[in-house]
Every structure is written in structure tokens, then in C-alpha cells.
Structure 1
Amino acid sequence: MDLELTGKRALVTGSSSGIGAAIVRMLAAEGAVVMVHGRDEAKTRAVAQGLVDQGANASYVTGELSQEEDCARVAERALEVLGGVDILVNNAGGMAAVNRPDTKAETFNRPWLETPWDDWRWTYEQNVGSTVRLIQALAPGMIERGFGRIINISSASATQTEPDLADYQPAKAAITNLTSGLAKSLGGTGVTVNSVTPGTIATEGVRSGFVEWARQLGWGTPEWAEIERRFTTEVIPQPTKHFGRPEDIARMVAFLASPQAGYMTGSNYRVDGGVCRSIN
């Protein structure tokens, strides 16, 4: 299937590694003109250069999207370099305990009652604030041209909560909710808005974390295939007995970004191996 993405201009936030990098590579492979975004300039530039070396039209921009000024600068840079943005993928996210530059916890999952409000504020700014600001900056151009795709990366924890994760789960719930409302607000403009909910995706960081978890569980040092099988059977049961790959998310995003998906808006698409227990 030709996704008709040749020449479409895409900004993918948080695309210097992991899921975001897979998304930007997939869009570039389909012929889109892409802008890579990240916090670390060397990593972000390397992803963009790798795409250029493969013949893609790629550029990059850096910025800390929890900061209002950086959001504005990233949007301005995208408009300046690309001449407009047809596809906005809001992938940058994370939670304060892991990602906040000025303070990090010893554990990623602070107890709910011990999560300071400053962490809530940072996580909301990083997830919700950046999404809202970039949409408000870039959607008007999409409306003017009569075509646009806004794709927000959510989380299973938006609807299927776990203990603690106090600041992260509500922020992702807001992402899923605003996606539905915005789709209705932009009805008839040619701009669609959808969210994608990944399951456990075996990025490099996730793999190393599960290897350590397996060690703590007394499993020794089994091969990755055995780690996946045991976790998805014994610890995080799901119908597919393996975790996802970044490309699984990228394929869904690429389809939603295409003109082929013009009848799909206001929805949340789960790519999670069936781990979520509810129907919707």
C-alpha cells in the first residue's frame, strides 16, 4: 500500500531514540520530509544524519519541551526549515522521577503520597504542556492548507492504572482525553487527531531494565526470548507472548499520518499485545 506520504512534512518530538526514532525513520522511509527532535544534540543530530546518509530529507532541532520558550523555539524552527508541518507526532513524554534534569529519584516509581507537586508540574508540562503548545503553534497552518495529522502518543496507564505513578498516569489520561476533544473541534478542517497507546516496547532501555528485573527475580541470565516469554506469561500476562518493538508503533503512526486514514479521527489505537483488559 502506498501511504502517499512523499513530500509530507513531519515533526516527531522525542525522536532521538526509542519509539520516536523508529517513527521518524518509518516516515522518512515512506518519503516524508522529517525533523528529528531531542534533548541531547549529539544523539539527535546522529539520527538525522543517519537518515540523510540513507537518502532521506531530514533535519533536527533540540529543546527541553517542559519549557514554554523551548516549545516555541522548536515550533518556529520547524516552520522555518520545513516551510510548514503536515504531520505532528507528539511523542516526547516521560515522568519527572526519571527525566527531570534537575532532580532524579533513586527509583522511577515514587510512592503516590511522596510525589512532590513539582514533579506533577514537570510531568504535566512535559507531556500535556508540550502537546498543547505545539498543536496551537502548528495546527493553524494545517487548517489553512486543508490537511493535517496530529498523533499523540499516550500510555496504557491512561486508562488502566497501577499503584503510584502519581504524576504520570493523569498526564497521559489528559493526552487521551484532549485527543478526542480536539478531533471534534477540528471537524471539517481536513485535520485528524488520534492517539496511539503502546504496550511494553522493547527499546534498549526497556530491555536492560527487564534483564535487571529478571536477575532480581532470581531467574539468572536467560536469553532475551526467554525473558520475554516469562514476563508476558508470569508477570505481565498478555496474549502475545513477547513485547512490542518500536517499529510496531511506527507502523501504526505512519498509517494514521497518511491520507489513507482520513476517516479515522478522535480515537485511541492500542498497540499493546492485548495487555489492556478493557475493550476501549
Structure 2
Amino acid sequence: MDLQLSGRVAVVTGASKGIGLAVTRTLLAEGARVVASSRRTSPELDALAGPDLVHVAADLMAPDAPGEIVARAAEAFGGLDILVNNAGGPPPGVTLPRGSFLDAGDEEWRAMFEFNLFSAVRAVRAAIPLMLERGGGAIVNVSSGNARQPSPMNVDYSAAKAGLTNLTKVLSAEFGPRGIRVNTVSPGPVRTAWWTDEGGVADMFAAQAGTSRDAVMDELAPGMMNLTTGRLAGPQEVADVIALLASPRSANTTGADFAVDSGFLKEI
């Protein structure tokens, strides 16, 4: 399927690995021009280098950073059509998972909201005027299944993502009539560095359960989370949905929340 993205300009945050890297690779393959943002680059992102890719090293905890990333798209490629707010998870200095609401104080809550909600708010604020100049655009906010599945684990992260999902609905209603579609993709557990890296979540669970990292990801975690498919999702599976929502092929889809979560959410 031709996603009709050739020549369109996109910004992707958290682009050096995981879902963001897969989104960047997919958009480039579809002919888009991409400004990819991350704190630092990676060998995998460097391998995509070419005239249609600009990397912006930025720390989204800095209030000015989202606007500067969006401005770089206008400077490099003349405008903006697509914004993918993918960056998220534990901000610098914060370790997840938590076990209880009582495990996080005010500073941890502030940091979590800065990274997972406020950075997206700032990026959207900068992107909307550029999109309106071009007659519209598409914004995809990467939320989480935990936005709709309350849990005492990672409660501050879940609350920030719930705010992002709510924000998406509001933006869709206000700017949809002006040609800007805004949707949410909510992954469940995905085989990203947060799980797979040495010292990551899989290793933490493996130490507690007396098993291996692979056994956690292949058997223990899918069972604990009651995943319908029996496995964690791959980053590309999430990226494919994001690319479709960014595409004119989804021209009448807005204000929607797409779960790419292995069947994690079972409520209506």
C-alpha cells in the first residue's frame, strides 16, 4: 500500500531506538523527510543517514527543546506535515518499574510529567501553526495501555500518559475542522531497550523470579500481563500503525486511540 507520504515532512521524537527508530525508518522508506530527535544518536539511526534525514540532539526535559526541534523541520525542509510524539518512559535519573504510589515523591512526579506530557504539549504548540500554514497535518501521540489500565505500578507514568490520551481528544476536536488530525497509539509491552537492555526490566524481573531475561520476555511477562497473543509486540508493529495514522490514507480518522498491545486491554 502506498501511504502517500512522499515529500511530506515529519518530526519524530525519541528516534534513536525502539519505536521511534522504527517509525523514522518507515517514514523514510515511504518517501518522507524526517527530523529525528533524541538525546544522542545511535548506530542504527546513523545507518539511515541521507538527504531526507536530519538528526537533532535534544533533551526534551528542557522547555525550549520541543519548539527548537519543530523549528528545525521548517528550516531544513520548509514546513511540517507530521508530528510523532514518541519520546517517553522514565526520564533521566528515574528508574521504573515502581511498586507503589508511595515510591515517588514530588520531584519524580514533576520529571515524569515533564518528559511524558509537557514535552508533547510544547511540541504540539510549536507544530500547529506550521501545519495550518500547509492546510493541515497529522499528529500521533504515543501513549500507553497503562493510560486506560490503572495500576499501582508506575502510577506517575500512567497518569502522565492518561493526560496525553486526554489531550489528544481535545486537540482533535479543536483542530480537526482546520485539517489537523490527532490520534493516539497506545502500546502495551514492547521489545525495546527498556525491556531488553542489560539491567533493564527483564533483568529485574528475572532476578526476582530466579530465571533468565529471555524467559521473562518470552513466558513470564506475557503470562503475568495476560497478553492475548502470548508475546510482547515488536517496535515495527507499533511503527506500522503510527505510519498509517500519519498517512492521508487515514484522512477521516481523528481523535482515536489505537491499542497495539498484544491484547493487554480487555475492557470495552
8 Å contact kept, 1:31–1:56: no
Deviations 1:150-172 (A, max 9, x none): 00000111110111423211110
Alpha-carbon distance in structure 2 between the residues aligned to 1:133 and 1:257: 19
8 Å contact kept, 1:228–1:241: no
Give 1:274 shift: 0.6
| 1:35-114 equivalent positions in 2, closer than 5 A | 35-40=35-40, 42-43=41-42, 46-52=43-49, 57-95=52-90, 99-100=91-92, 103-105=93-95, 108-109=97-98, 111-114=100-103
Deviations 1:234-270 (A, max 9, x none): 3221110111000001000110010000010001000
| 1:10-21 equivalent positions in 2, closer than 5 A | 10-21=10-21
8 Å contact kept, 2:85–2:140: yes
Give 1:144 shift: 2.3
Gaps of 5+ in 2: none
8 Å contact kept, 2:79–2:134: no
Residue 118 of structure 2 aligns to a residue in which SS?
Answer: helix
Alpha-carbon distance in structure 1 between the residues aligned to 2:72 and 2:226: 43
8 Å contact kept, 2:9–2:73: no
2:165 is aligned with 1:170: no
**1:126 partner letter:** F
Alpha-carbon distance in structure 1 between the residues aligned to 2:193 and 2:106: 30
Tell me: CA distance 1:93–1:189, structure 2 relative to 1, closer, same or farther (3 Å).
same
2:209 is aligned with 1:217: yes
2:227 is aligned with 1:238: yes
Q: Give RMSD over aligned pairs.
A: 2.0
2:238 is matched with: 249
Percentage of matched positions with identical amino acids:
37
Deviations 1:198-232 (A, max 9, x none): 0111124413432552353133x48x4x5444225
Gaps of 5+ in 1: none
8 Å contact kept, 2:5–2:30: yes
8 Å contact kept, 2:21–2:45: no
2:145 is aligned with 1:156: yes
8 Å contact kept, 1:198–1:249: yes
